[in-house]
Amino acid sequence: MAQAAQQQEATGRKGDGLMIALQNNAEKRLVIQNANEVFCNLLGYAEGELKDRGLETILGAKLAQLLDEDLEYVDEAPDLGELLSRQREVKLRHRLGNEMVVPLTISRLMAQGREACFQIVVPNEVEGRAQQQLKDFLKINLEGRQQIDEATGLPDRSTADTYLNLLKNYIANNGMEAAFAVIRVDRYEKSLARYGKQGCIEQLQHVANCCRSTFRAEDVVCMLSESTLGLVLLDISRESVRVVLNRLRWNVRNHRIVFGGKSDFSVTISLSFDMLTEHTGDSLLDRSEEAVGKLDADTRNYLIELGQE
């Protein structure tokens, strides 16, 4: 087992149930490394009571059987994250023995030694209703205004600007927190010279796909330029933004792709972000773009936090 000093901190949105699980292939075990108070209470446990227990402690019978039969504990085989993400319905077992269907998302974190590491999130229902209200508000107000970039299928820059202005007013009136980030695909000029415009678009789409697999469905990814994406994260604190964007950098860098004649091509990104609060001066989109634009062309895998002056 990993030592306490190596443990990863579960991070998520306000009120979410969060758990970190480890897949130990050598010992053929799934272990709960950490679970927050919300997650523990959901299943009838006190905070800290699930720490270091086998994951089977909280799995419904059918899910436990599925993992027992299909999880092979070898690097080439589907891991815990892949198997869980394929399930239409996930049941967890309460301490009293009853099983409950829960909506959850699972994402892979940085590995700890030889152990694969996963974060499981059970969204807070109250926050979920607030998110639905927000999505309904934006859908109504963006109807007819949204423009899609043909090359990537993502909302374009003008849509991102409209979206940010609508969202800024909404969160100011509803006590929510949100953040905006600009993501730069590193070494764009070199990639343009070597792989052409279409190659750069493929790299951008790869990063957009990594965003979709890292963040919630309601978080919005937009295309700003051939080398940059805009990312809006909803209902999240500054501290959590910092953590999840660092996780995104790691995910993109370590997710090798088939590209440019190579089977293990690596893309890196640099980001700038700030919280979407009331800005009385320049545009947050422009300021964020300007921050990554000032980076040296050869700088890679860098995070800039605005609003801390």
- CATH code at position 257: 3.30.70.270
∠ CA 29-213-264, nearest 5°, is 80
Give the pLDDT confidence of 233-273 residue by residue, as tens digits.
887 888 888 988 998 998 898 888 888 888 889 999 999 99
35 vs 18: CA distance, rounded Å: 6
Is residue 140 predicted with pLDDT exceeding 80?
no
Distances (CA, A) of 141 to 114, 217, 308: 48, 19, 32
Residues 132 and 43 in one domain: no
What mean pLDDT do residues 215-229 have?
A: 87
> How much is the mean pLDDT over the chain?
84
Give the pLDDT confidence of 23-35 residue by residue, as tens digits.
999 999 999 999 9
Residues 275 and 155 in one domain: yes
Among the candidates 122, 137, 152, a domain finishes at 122
Residues 33 and 144 in one domain: no
* Alpha helices by DSSP H, 143-237: 157-174, 188-214
Number of independent structural domains in the chain: 2
Q: What confidence tier does 51 reach under pLDDT thresholds 50, 70, 90? A: very high
The whole-number pLDDT of residue 10 equals 52
Domain that includes residue 87, residue range: 4-122
Residues 118 and 133 in one domain: no
Place of tokens 């279409």: 198
Distances (CA, A) of 145 to 63, 140, 168, 224, 225: 44, 10, 17, 16, 19
Residues 256 and 131 in one domain: yes
Residues 116 and 179 in one domain: no
Is residue 126 predicted with pLDDT exceeding 90?
no
The whole-number pLDDT of residue 177 equals 81
Is the torsion defined by CA of 125, 131, 132, 133 positive or negative?
positive
Residues 135 and 244 in one domain: yes
Report the CATH number at residue 16: 3.30.450.20
Place of tokens 């679970």: 35
Is residue 181 predicted with pLDDT exceeding 90?
yes
E-strand spans in the chain? 17-24, 29-35, 91-93, 99-101, 105-112, 115-122, 178-185, 220-223, 228-234, 257-259, 262-265, 269-275, 303-305
Is residue 5 predicted with pLDDT exceeding 70?
no
Percent pLDDT > 90 in the chain is 39
Among the candidates 92, 122, 152, a domain finishes at 122
